[in-house]
């Protein structure tokens, strides 16, 4: 299977409830490390990344994330609102 990877870091890591990667009917739960860093292997294509926050913060949705075969896409620092 061909794959790409997407990584990033959620600055307020203590406020993360769940992280999801969604493409059509494919849904992948992403398990961040304790410092908010995450790295997930995905099939190539366009994905939506949803960072579900604990109470007091809004969910963050990153649309049109392009996972490119053989590449590691870095989303950088993500701040929760």
Question: Is residue 43 included in any domain, yes or no?
Answer: yes
Q: What pLDDT score does 1 carry? A: 59
Which of 77, 5, 2 has its CA nearest to residue 39?
Answer: 5
Question: Is residue 75 included in any domain, yes or no?
Answer: no
Give the residue numbers spanning the domain of 37. 4-69
d(CA 49, CA 22): 6
CB 10, CB 75: distance < 8 Å: no
Question: Is residue 21 included in any domain, yes or no?
Answer: yes
pTM listed for this prediction: 0.89
Question: Is residue 79 included in any domain, yes or no?
Answer: no
Q: Give 26's pLDDT tier (boundaries 50, 70, 90).
A: very high
Half-sphere exposure at residue 55, Cβ-oriented, CA atoms within 13 angstroms: 0
Domains: count for the chain: 1
Question: Is residue 74 included in any domain, yes or no?
Answer: no
Q: What does the CA dihedral 35, 40, 46, 49 come to, rounded to 10 degrees?
A: -30
* CATH number reported for the structural domain that contains residue 22 in this entry: 2.60.40.1120
User: Using one digit for the tens of pLDDT, what is the confidence trace for 36-79?
Assistant: 999 999 999 999 999 999 988 899 999 999 999 999 999 999 99
The mean per-residue pLDDT over the stretch 13-26 comes to 94
């Amino acid at each position: 299977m061909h794959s790409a990877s997407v990584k990033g870091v959620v600055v307020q890591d203590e406020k993360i409830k769940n992280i999801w990667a969604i493409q059509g009917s494919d849904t992948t739960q992403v398990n961040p490390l304790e410092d908010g860093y995450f790295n997930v292997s995905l099939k190539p294509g366009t994905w939506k990344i949803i960072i579900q926050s604990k109470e007091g913060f809004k969910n963050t949705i990153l649309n049109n994330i392009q996972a490119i075969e053989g590449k590691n896409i870095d989303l950088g620092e993500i701040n929760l609102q």
